């Protein structure tokens, strides 16, 4: 073995010493390091790629679509094949990355209760369908790392007390003090399970069908590194570490964001980047903002973190017509250092999480938001707080329906308000992720909620391809209007260097009805002033307040109109956005 291998071995050993400092292991950490490196296919020096540090493996061209494998169905065709056809037909020049939500065999939670990590759910297709998608799009795979299905072979072996998986699960005693454990659900934490070795109490952070792994057993870590290597071989370019904040548990603590969890992510990062430095890790940590930011580490943990505070703050801004909370949050967000970026989204397969708004919106503001969303057909998921009272955890509603009006009720600005939300997101620092149902302007699916009994189903419609095609090709449908306008915004965004995820961002102070920020390209050649009227009345802004430099030639990239900087005022219609730039890139 030579320098590269030895230096990687030293790094991995160091991670393992930190992770397992208080765990007695059967093997030495040096042996374990060797096993992990080999499980990633890095047996020799020539397999190992040296990563560059603080390198941005993304730019303004990157726009990700979030979707289930079966969001669009067509007769007996494999849904993954249908999805590829949809993308090639309707998203060719807009979307270049796809977050494929879990496409493995599963037993509940729409895929997040994985039965078998190494195969494709037959109802969706097979590995060749994944490969076809990976040939044309950068694919994000879910690594459901905290728990698996209670119907998995691993858990069946746990019950039998023998075979792979028999020692993979975290157990505790009902007598343990678990009062501090942070929970996203109201179900009991421990699941009483009869096994060959007597009754065990299995830890279930989410549901009793989702049994939590015990990462203090290095075999679990090894199994996951083998899964990661498989996914890389099958075309994964981005890994989403699902619910990773809960990964390490110590009885008597909160069991969230523990130091060992951060070190496991750093270890995964080290191993993955020596296989391919261009593979991106995104942590899915639906927690208050300050804690979320820690997952960047020192550009040695996640490359990207979900900007979880954005959805509730932006929806709140647009339904109240007041951007003060969004503005103060944005001013407090540190710029992501090179090699890291924010992953921005305003709708996803889950609802609008409210925990990330805690400390940013007060209780009264949250209560008004919840009430408004209920008026628009939204459902609310609850959690128990430390004092046992019920607190809203998540709003379940499609973004299109969430923006059908204001706190005063529905109005005629639904499409404009919806497009405004995306214009704000698309211009912001970070990489944008757009849920397929936002691209399609999908409304609440009450029928699916009735069929599944799950609130989240409201935003998980399955479209029939023929019906969708008819609606998208009809100029009068909301779906056609939304897709056309969204596609235009995305195409404009992708051509602007000032919209690079790491380009400079500065929040503008334009009062509470106008939300604005300034972006400047990394080479400083392009400036864009992004200003949105977030109210349902016309607003005017004094050109001198935006501070356009008189010698430059300014144009609004969205309307194509030239901006005369000495004209005094810029007038914006309700929910209009302008992207005023000194360099016109098309």
Question: What is the set of active-site residues?
Answer: 242
- Is residue 484 within a helix (H) or strand (E), and if so which, with residue range? helix 478-494
Please check if 271 is assigned to a binding site: no
Give the C-alpha separation, 538 to 268, whole Å: 51
Q: Is 250 left (phi over 0), alpha (psi -120 to 50) or beta?
A: beta
350 annotated as belonging to a binding site for a ligand: yes
Helices marked H in 213-307: 218-233, 259-275, 289-293
355 labeled binding residue = no
Q: Is 470 annotated as a binding residue?
A: no
> Can you give the C-alpha Rg of the chain in angstroms?
24
408 is in an annotated binding site: no
Is 109 annotated in a binding site? The answer is yes
Is 242 annotated for ligand binding?
yes
Tell me how far apart the alpha carbons of residues 375 and 153 are, in angstroms, rounded to a whole number: 44
> Per the annotation, does 241 bind a ligand?
yes
Alpha-carbon distance of 88 to 476, in angstroms, equals 23
Q: Which of 403, 425, 472 is nearest to 579 (CA)?
A: 425
Query: Helix, strand, or coil here: 329?
Result: helix
Element (H, E) at 556: strand 554-556
**143 and 239 Cβ atoms separated by less than 8 Å:** yes
Rounded to 5, what percent of the chain is helix, strand, coil?
Answer: 35, 20, 45
Round to whole Å and give the CA distance between 454 and 109: 9
Tell me the two tokens of residue 189.
Answer: 């934490």
Which are the contacts of 199, defined by CB distance < 8 A and separation ≥ 6?
192, 193
As annotated, the binding site for substrate includes: 109, 147, 240-242, 349-350, 456
């Amino acid at each position: 073995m030579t320098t590269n291998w030895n230096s990687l071995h030293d790094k991995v050993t160091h991670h393992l010493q930190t992770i397992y400092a208080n765990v007695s292991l059967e093997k030495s950490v040096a042996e374990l390091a060797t096993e992990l490196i080999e499980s990633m296919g890095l047996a020799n020096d020539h397999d190992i790629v040296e990563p560059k540090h603080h390198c941005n493996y993304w730019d303004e061209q990157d726009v990700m679509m979030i979707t289930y494998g079966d969001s669009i169905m067509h007769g007996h065709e494999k849904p993954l094949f249908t999805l590829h056809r949809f993308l090639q037909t309707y998203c060719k020049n807009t979307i270049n990355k796809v977050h494929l939500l879990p496409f493995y065999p599963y037993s509940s939670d729409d895929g997040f209760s994985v039965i078998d990590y190494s195969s494709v759910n037959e109802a969706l297709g097979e590995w060749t369908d994944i490969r076809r998608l990976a040939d044309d799009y950068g694919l994000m795979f879910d690594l459901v790392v905290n728990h698996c299905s209670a119907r998995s072979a691993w858990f069946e072996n746990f019950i039998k007390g023998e075979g792979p998986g028999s020692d993979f699960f975290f157990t505790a005693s009902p007598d343990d003090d678990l009062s501090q454990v942070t929970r996203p659900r109201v179900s009991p934490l421990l699941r009483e399970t009869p096994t060959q070795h007597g009754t065990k109490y299995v830890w279930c952070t989410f549901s009793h069908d989702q049994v939590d792994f015990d990462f203090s057993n290095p075999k679990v870590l090894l199994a996951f590194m083998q899964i990661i290597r498989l996914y890389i071989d099958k075309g994964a370019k981005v890994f989403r570490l699902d619910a990773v904040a809960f990964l390490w548990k110590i009885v008597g603590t909160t069991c969230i964001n523990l130091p060992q969890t951060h070190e496991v992510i750093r270890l995964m990062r080290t191993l993955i980047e020596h296989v391919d430095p261009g593979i991106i890790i995104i942590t899915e940590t639906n927690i208050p903002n300050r804690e979320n930011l820690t997952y960047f580490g020192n550009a040695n943990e996640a490359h990207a973190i979900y900007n979880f505070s954005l959805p509730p703050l932006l929806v709140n801004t647009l339904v109240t017509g007041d951007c003060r909370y969004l503005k103060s949050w944005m001013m407090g967000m540190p710029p992501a250092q090179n090699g890291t970026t924010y992953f921005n989204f305003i709708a996803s397969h889950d609802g609008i999480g409210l925990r990330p708004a805690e400390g940013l919106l007060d209780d009264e503001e949250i209560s008004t938001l919840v009430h408004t969303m209920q008026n628009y057909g939204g459902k609310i998921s609850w959690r128990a707080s430390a004092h046992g009272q019920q607190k809203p955890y998540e709003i379940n509603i499609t973004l299109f329906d969430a923006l059908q009006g204001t706190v005063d009720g529905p109005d005629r600005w639904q499409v404009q308000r919806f497009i405004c939300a995306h214009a704000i997101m698309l211009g912001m620092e970070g990489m944008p992720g757009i849920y397929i149902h936002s691209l399609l302007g999908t409304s609440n699916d009450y029928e699916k909620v009735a069929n599944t009994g799950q609130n989240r189903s409201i935003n998980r419609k399955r479209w029939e391809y023929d019906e969708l095609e008819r609606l998208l090709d009809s100029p009068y449908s909301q779906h056609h209007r939304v897709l056309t306008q969204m596609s235009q915004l995305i195409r404009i965004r992708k051509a602007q260097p000032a919209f690079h995820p790491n380009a400079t961002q500065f929040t503008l102070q334009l009062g509470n009805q106008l939300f604005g920020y300034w972006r400047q390209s990394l080479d400083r050649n392009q400036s864009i002033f992004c200003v949105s009227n977030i109210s349902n009345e016309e607003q005017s802004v004094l050109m001198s307040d935006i501070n356009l430099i008189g010698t430059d030639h300014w144009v609004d990239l969205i309307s194509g109109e030239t901006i005369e900087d000495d004209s005094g005022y810029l007038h914006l219609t309700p929910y209009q956005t302008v992207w005023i730039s000194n360099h016109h890139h098309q």
